[in-house]
Amino acid sequence: MKKFISENLTTIFYALVIALIIRSLLIQPFYIPSSSMEPNLLVGDRLFVTKFTYGYSKHSFPFSPPIFKGRILFKKPNRGDVIVFKTPVDNRTDYIKRLIGLPGDTIQFINGDLYINEIQIFRDIKSREDQIFCGDKIFDVNTFEEKLDNNIKFKTVYRKDFTFQNSDKFLVPENYYFFLGDNRDCSKDSRFLSSVGYVHENNLVGKAQFIFFSSDYRKGSLFKFWKWLDLIRFDRFFKKIK
C-alpha cells in the first residue's frame, strides 16, 4: 500500500513539474473577460499564448517571482501583434491588446483617425451597420479594416459618435510599448496613462496565437449541456489570431 501511494504521489509530482514547465516556458491558456478586443476576440474566447516568442522575464512564471532581472532571450515584438502583458499599475493583472507603438514612435488620434509617426493609418470601411458589445451595453459602430506600415491588417470598430476623437501626442519611451484595443471606444489601454499607459518590455507575457475554445456566457452555463449548440461557438475553434 505504501509503495502504491508513493508511486502515485511521485507521478503526480512529475506531472505538476512538467505542467509548470510547459506553462512557464512554452504555452499558456488565457480567457477573454472583456469586450475591448471585439470583433477579433470575443468574451468567452479561450486562447493559447506562446511564452517563448519574446523571451522570458519574471512575468513568464506564475506569481512573477524575482528570480532574475530584465529579460533573457529577448526578441522584439512586431507592430500589430496581439500580446498578453502585465499592467504597469500593479504588475499582476493580465491584459490583452494589440501592439501599435514601438519605442520612439509618436501616436496620436486626430478627428478619430489614428496617426503613427505623423502618418495616418489607412483604414477601409467594411460596414456601417454593425453593433458591438461594450460590457453589457450594445452600441452601433462602424467597422474598418486597418493596415499598418508592415502590412498587418485587422478589423477595428469605432462608435458612430466617436467618444475618443482627439488626443495629445504620445511619445513612446525607450524599452516601452503602446497598446490599443480593437474596440477603440471600449478599451482601457495605453491612451490612459493613469491606468495602463506605456508598457515596459519586461511586462510582456506572450503572443496570442489561436483560439482553442469559445462559448457565449450570455446564452447560459456550460453545465447546461442541452444548450451547447447555442452556447458554444464551434466556428471559432482553432481560429488563428490576426
Please give the positions annotated as active site: 36, 97
Task: Identify whether the C-beta of residue 5 lies closer than 8 Å to the C-beta of residue 99.
Answer: no
Q: Give the alpha-carbon dihedral of 140, 145, 146, 147, to 10 degrees.
A: 180
Strand partners, 170: 107
Burial (Cβ within 10 Å: 0-12, 13-18, ≥19) of residue 188: middle
Positive or negative: CA dihedral 9, 13, 19, 22: negative
Q: How far is CA 43 from CA 35, 136, 219, in A?
A: 6, 11, 12
Distance CA 44, CA 241 (A): 15
